[in-house]
Amino acid sequence: MHKLAIIWRDLGIVGRAVWPNLTLFAALLLSATLLLWWSKSYPEAHFLEVLVNAFHMTHLEAVSPGKGALPAVFIFVLPVLTIIILGEGALRVAGVYLQRRQHREEWELMVAKTFAGHTVICGLGELGRTICIHMLEKNPLAQIVLVDVVGDLLIDLGLDEIQHSNVSHVRGDMTAQATLEAANCQAAGLMVMSSGDDGHNLEAGGKARGINPQAQIWIRLHRSQVSKLLCPTEKTHFFSPYRSEAEKLVADLDGQGRIPATPTVICGLGELGRAVCTCLLERNPLTPLVLVDVRKNLLADLGFDQSHYPHVSHKWGDMTSKATLEGADCGTAQLIVLTSGDDGHNLEAGVKAREINPQAKIWIRLHRSQVAKLICPTDNVHFFSPYERAADTLVAAMNTDAS
């Protein structure tokens, strides 16, 4: 945002902040004028002349004494009340404005109130942060309000106060209606609930819909199966980043001829691992799979009947253990996919799987996409973030809806 535009915006914020004080001063001036008018303190003066006299009294300018005691009282009382009313507003706003870095949260709330038709992103985990960055890459001037309980979020995201003055952070609980109203959801055009808790996302989405029935709302579901119980509408959408990422990942593998006849090993059967497993079987129900996870009864939990999926097996154990990987046939596998939510576990398991089978194709999930900048992929080792491509697709879909 241009510096002149920032100055203009800040002046607007200051004006809004002192507006109650100005209104109270106007009420004081009008009340004093009416009392002077009804008491006939200036019998020959018109109403506007009495108003001018009252205004002069507020800042100790000389006026004609008038009749009665009321003008003499107002000459002392009105200046005192004026100093109290206007002085309080001036000191309060000047204190916040001049020390806005120290009073950042209060200032960010004021900035959020100036936005209209903006985007509100609630829950700034890895997905929420990625969505924010992708939005700013597509439109650097996009007005965005970020809602999260974490402090100093803008600094953590590396957003410059001047260059990204169009991004504001409201610190608070995304499920609290007061927090959503503080984020100016009532004037927002788009709201995204992207935390890792389905309950929080659904609760915040329901309250946001009550605050602003006209806005587009996108609600992340960590467990994609929950969407079967919900009814999306024209303005309310549900999405699972794991399901979309799994479909793209399997399409990449299939397009490159990398889904082999030998067993594919999937380690870490969280939501993403399950989605990858499901997508592989949807493309080819006869794909042999070995699932590695510490949970027992995993196949029953996934709904796999051994009579229908005899080629799907479960190796119980720690995915970072070399013995577990060897027992999961990693030595003969052509494809190994590491999908747990722990980057350290995925990297450690990837190193050990590479030692067991240097020829296998290994795909390693990185929960924090920045970690990939420190690692060099090879022909047989690939890294992917379930949020990068999901966020890109999501932002494109949101822009389509907005248009």
Tens digits of per-residue pLDDT, 178-194? 999 999 999 999 999 99
pLDDT value at residue 8:
67
Is 60 exceeded by the pLDDT of residue 256?
Answer: no
50, 56 contact by CB (below 8 A): no
pTM confidence score:
0.69
Give whichever of 146-160, 205-219, 258-272, 296-310 has the largest mean pLDDT: 205-219
- Helix or strand or coil: residue 123? coil
b (16+ CB within 10 A) / e for 376-396: eeeeebbbbbbbbbbbebbbe
pLDDT value at residue 228:
63
Which helix H or strand E contains 146, and what residues bound it?
strand 144-148
Q: How confident is the model at residue 172 (pLDDT cuts 50, 70, 90)?
A: very high
| Domain ranges (residues) in the chain | 3-98, 106-239, 243-386
The predicted-structure confidence for 105-139, as pLDDT tens digits, reads as follows 777 888 888 899 999 999 998 889 989 988 998 88
The arithmetic mean of pLDDT across residues 320-342, rounded, is 93
Query: What is the average pLDDT value for the chain, to the nearest integer?
Result: 84
The arithmetic mean of pLDDT across residues 11-35, rounded, is 84
pLDDT value at residue 252:
74
Q: Which of 172, 192, 170 is nearest to 122 (CA)?
A: 192
Sort 276 into a burial class: Cβ within 10 Å, 0-12 / 13-18 / 19+: buried
CA distance linking residue 383 with residue 362, whole number of Å: 9
pLDDT value at residue 296:
86
DSSP string, 55-86: HHHHTT------SSSHHHHHHHHHHHHHHHHH
First and final CA of the chain: distance in angstroms? 23
The arithmetic mean of pLDDT across residues 376-401, rounded, is 77
The arithmetic mean of pLDDT across residues 98-102, rounded, is 60
Partner residues linked to 121 by β-bridges: 146, 192
Within 13 Å, how many C-alpha atoms sit on residue 181's CB side? 5
| Cβ-based neighbours of 70, under 8 Å, separated by 6 or more | 35, 36, 39, 41
Within 13 Å, how many C-alpha atoms sit on residue 271's CB side? 19
pLDDT value at residue 100:
60
pLDDT value at residue 258:
55
The letter for the amino acid at 56 is: H
pLDDT value at residue 114:
84
CATH homologous superfamily of 243-386 equals NAD(P)-binding Rossmann-like Domain (3.40.50.720)
- Helix or strand or coil: residue 266? strand
The three state secondary structure string of 361-376 is EEEEECCCHHHHHHCC
CA distance linking residue 97 with residue 77, whole number of Å: 30
- Over pLDDT 70: what percentage of the chain? 86
Is 70 exceeded by the pLDDT of residue 254?
Answer: no
More reliable by pLDDT, 143 or 15: 143
User: Which CATH code is given to the segment(s) 106-239?
Assistant: 3.40.50.720
Residue 341: DSSP 8-state: S
More reliable by pLDDT, 258 or 145: 145
- Over pLDDT 90: what percentage of the chain? 35
Q: What is the torsion angle, in degrees rounded to the nearest 10, for the CA atoms of residue 347, residue 348, residue 354 and residue 360? A: -50
CA distance linking residue 59 with residue 389, whole number of Å: 63
pLDDT value at residue 266:
96
The predicted-structure confidence for 52-92, as pLDDT tens digits, reads as follows 888 888 887 767 777 888 888 888 899 999 999 988 888 87
pLDDT value at residue 40:
85
The predicted-structure confidence for 282-317, as pLDDT tens digits, reads as follows 888 888 999 999 988 888 888 887 777 888 999 999
The predicted-structure confidence for 25-55, as pLDDT tens digits, reads as follows 999 999 999 998 888 888 888 888 888 888 8
pLDDT value at residue 203:
94
